[in-house]
Amino acid sequence: MVKPPVRAALALAVLSGTLWAGPAAAVGTAREASPSVWAHRAEVTYDSLQQHLYQGPAEHGLYLEKTPLKDGENPHSYLWPLREATAATVDMSELPGVGARYERDAAERFTALRLYFDPRDGRSGYDSYLPAPLGQGGDVFYDDNAVVGLSFLDQYRATGKRPYLDRAMETYSIVSRGWDEDAAKPCPGGMNWVDSPGNTMRAANVTGLAAQLAAELYAVDHDDQLLASAKKWYEWNWSCLRQSPGLYNNSRDDDGTVNKTLWSYNSGAMIGTAATLYRATGDRNYLDRAAEDAKGSLTYWTQEDRLHDQPAIFNAFYFDNLRILDEVRPDRAYRTAAAAYAEQTWRENRTPSDGLFRFQPSGGGDHAPAAQAETLEQSAMVQIFAGLASDRS
């Protein structure tokens, strides 16, 4: 499709960097950028992902973890980066006007995801790395499995094809095993991080993401067990890890020790879960909680360089969940925060020569020109740009 002259000129200015004179200008421009600009950025960022990190059909549709590949590194990515490339591709398939061209790519991503599934003698799950014959396998991390389930559900909603819903339900069953039944532990309950006898941590990420998966499945399937799980898991995070409105401690160890590290995606999962529970049940208490967490988290995360310093993928989760809340209780502040972050990251963290985003080893922070570019963070930026392109609030 030929771009209109104005859009073509604007896209050229974006690519050359001439629109972005400095931080103040970037924030102002973010509020004015059209959906077509965000869509263009999503497309060129996806193209760079595919050119430099996608390994093609000959390698089973898998991705590199990082580029360039170094000696001793795995030949393919771990599960989590592939899941994020999958989520990014589903987002591309839903872009207004151009989404159809990415539908085949999206279907291929789910075929690749299934390569990580391991029956494991009755304790099945998606391994952190490819099982034999393609790899050495890995552990079943419940947070990884929860987000895989969310992607299957997204693809079901995008296509209406029942097998994707069945996979999401299967993944809910896997994640359900993570609930800790030991009533003697401090603050009993919570989801274990990994399916291992050595696990000693009940984590906000897996508990919140599992609650979100259950809530979103309930909104589709209306099974009371799904609703009960969503409520129970959500309430544990709220009761046992909530530090203040919108901010959740990372985890609680079995001995009672609390890791108070804050991550933006833990804020997001709780906002999205509560908004989904409100939409599915009509209980305004959940809507009020979601709005309270959104306000508190935005106040915190938009101060100083806090969003900039978070891993880009965590921010992708956060902004996506703010959009879920925005659908039922609109607030322009949600889009403003996402656009400001996206503008800054496009300007400061993108390497123009190859279109890849490079960050500090944490996955966030200042541009690291010599760093390997990663599937995880490149996919995050596709998701953020595509979300802004689709959100016309």
Looking at the chain, the whole-number percentage of residues with pLDDT higher than 70 is 91
pLDDT > 90? residue 318: yes
Q: Is the pLDDT of residue 393 over 80?
A: no
Q: What Å distances lie between residue 167 and 97, 114, 254, CA to CA?
A: 28, 10, 31
For residues 84 and 375, is the Cβ–Cβ distance under 8 A?
yes
Average pLDDT over residues 276-289: 98
Cα–Cα distance for residue pair 381/302, rounded to 1 Å = 18
CB atoms within 10 A of CB 24: 8
pLDDT for 359-384, tens place per residue? Answer: 999 999 999 999 999 999 999 999 99
**pLDDT surpassing 50 at residue 19:** no
Give start and end residues of each alpha helix (H) in the chain. 5-16, 23-32, 35-52, 79-93, 103-114, 142-159, 162-176, 204-221, 224-240, 264-281, 284-301, 306-309, 312-328, 332-349, 375-390
In the chain, the largest separation of any two C-alpha atoms, in whole Å, equals 67
Alpha helices in 33-75 (DSSP H): 35-52
pTM of the prediction? 0.91
Q: Residue 16 — pLDDT band, cuts 50, 70, 90? A: very low
175 and 167 in contact (C-beta within 8 Å)?
no
243-265 residue pLDDT tens? 999 999 999 999 999 999 999 99
Would you give the DSSP letter of residue 183? T
In DSSP terms, 67 is beta-bridged to: 373
Show the 3-state SS of 122-151: HCCEECCCCCCCCCCCCCCEHHHHHHHHHH
Q: Does the pLDDT of residue 29 top 70, yes or no?
A: no
User: Is the pLDDT assigned to residue 99 strictly greater than 70?
Assistant: yes
Q: pLDDT band for 392, please (50, 70, 90 cuts).
A: low
Whole-Å CA distances, 105 to 87, 90, 267? 11, 8, 30
